Amino acid sequence: MRYTQKYRLKFLNKTFPILLLVGFLYAFGTSKKEGEHQEIYNNHLLTEGAYENGQKSGFWKFYYGNKKLHMEGEFLNDRKQGLWKFYSKREKLLSTAEYDSGVLSGALTFYDKSDKISNILYFNNGEKTGAFDWYKNGIKTHSIEPLKGGRKVTSFYHDGKIKSICNEWNGKQNDTARIYYKNGIAKEELVFYRDMLLNVLVSNNANGERITHGNLTDGEGLLIRYFDNGTIRSKVFYSEGLKNGIAQFYHENGELSEAGVYKSGRKSGIWKYFSENGEFKKEQAFRSQEEDFEFDNEFSFSPETEEESSFEAEFPSNNRTVNKLIKEKLNGVDTAQNKATAWLSLKLDDLGFVLASSIIYQPTEGESFTLPVPAEELPRCIPAYKNGISIASELIYTVKM
């Protein structure tokens, strides 16, 4: 039988009331789910957990459809609660997320390919707080805390002790910045205003004894800084809070490393460079173009973010299964036309359960039409994964008839 517009109307007029009746009976005539539950599709376990009064409750596991764990966590009154874990198809832990009544509240933790923490973002009632922790090889290196109009940047040594603390407003260093030795003793306390260095409050050696820092006051004068071993690191003159005048930098063994002149915080003129044994290496001319990042490198933090894993939604089986499903639903419709196309369109929640579904059929002749498909006839699918969590998504499969 060849498809025509008249047949489409006749088909829909007959089937649509039946679909409505089926939906009504399903919604009001079935009992609530209760107790232990498993969903198996094509001999593959998709979900396992328990219902209480028709709501998901307790610990649940969700699978990719190939027996590999996709995500797991607790439910309370049908909503995610507590710690949830998300895995890749290779069974690697991708992330963990803390939920409260189905909303992200707490830490969203990402893991690298070695299963070590790479970074942690913090949420409150579904919104980012602006706080995060950054890790390298599983060891925390930096922590960011939001401030009104700015942020607090803290860096750490490998053993977790604080290395430095700095406040930033509008991307500029402001207020008192602190640097610590590995033994926890304060090394320096420097006062900044909009990236300009004004004063030095503290300059100590590793034993906590005061050492001279020069005569820098209110952004004017000489600043002397030191390595952790006590040798001089640099001697630089300042004016109006910026490096201005003669500057000398040293190797940790005390030998001169480089020397030249600053103008308004930028290298200017001829600079000379030396090796650790004091030998002249080269000289280089500057035209006050190169910015100075000495304190940015010590206090500021702009992480080189790795590309986070993300996956599109998918059906929990192969294309042959989807083709069969579509053809079964189009039974009675002439699908033998050349180059006719059908689409299975699904709307999924963040767990992969089907919220709405339909088949769109486009014949080579005549108008396209849409057939609703009861959601309960479809298996739980694999939802999209983005920014560390599974998300509500759409899934569309195309079949050439």
pLDDT in tens, 208-223: 999 999 999 999 999 9
Residue 79 lies in a domain: no
Q: Which residue has the higher pLDDT, 37 or 327?
A: 37
CA–CA gap between residue 62 and residue 68 (Å, rounded): 9
Q: Do residues 322 and 385 touch, judged by C-beta distance below 8 A?
A: no
pLDDT grade for 20, boundaries at 50, 70 and 90: very low
Residue 141 lies in a domain: no
Residue 195 lies in a domain: no
Residue 368 lies in a domain: yes
**What average pLDDT score do residues 259-278 get?**
95
Cβ-count burial of 149 within 10 angstroms (0-12 exposed, 13-18 middle, 19+ buried)?
exposed
**Percentage of the chain modeled with pLDDT above 70:** 89
pLDDT at position 39 over 70? yes
pLDDT at position 12 over 70? no
Q: Which domain holds residue 21?
A: 5-30+310-400
pLDDT at position 166 over 90? yes
Residue 70 CB: number of other CB atoms within 10 A?
Answer: 27
Residue 201 lies in a domain: no
Specify the amino acid at residue 39: E
**Integer angstrom CA distances of residue 348 from 51, 118, 345, 392:** 20, 29, 10, 6
Closest CA to 342 of 356, 325, 318: 325
What single string gives the DSSP state of each residue in 131-152?
EEEEEETTEEEEEEEEETTEEE
CA–CA gap between residue 119 and residue 134 (Å, rounded): 4
Three-state secondary structure call for residue 183: coil
pLDDT grade for 349, boundaries at 50, 70 and 90: very high
> How many H helices and E strands in the chain?
3, 27
Q: Which residue has the higher pLDDT, 337 or 139?
A: 139
CA–CA gap between residue 224 and residue 226 (Å, rounded): 7
pLDDT at position 4 over 70? no
Average pLDDT, the chain: 87
Residue 377 lies in a domain: yes
CA–CA gap between residue 392 and residue 382 (Å, rounded): 10
Least reliable range by pLDDT among 90-94, 179-183, 331-335: 331-335
Residue-level pLDDT at 170: 82
Specify the amino acid at residue 178: R
Instruction: Round the CA-based radius of gyration of the chain to a whole number and report it.
Output: 32
Phi, psi of 47 (to 5 degrees): -145, 155
**In this structure, what token pair is assigned to residue 59?**
């610990």
Q: Which residue has the higher pLDDT, 245 or 4?
A: 245
Q: Which residue has the higher pLDDT, 14 or 380?
A: 380
Q: Give the chain's end-to-end CA distance (angstroms, integer).
A: 15
**Integer angstrom CA distances of residue 75 from 81, 99, 351, 375, 384:** 5, 10, 12, 22, 20
The total number of structural domains that make up the chain: 1
**What average pLDDT score do residues 272-289 get?**
93
Q: Do residues 250 and 234 touch, judged by C-beta distance below 8 A?
A: yes
CA–CA gap between residue 133 and residue 153 (Å, rounded): 10
pLDDT at position 78 over 80? yes
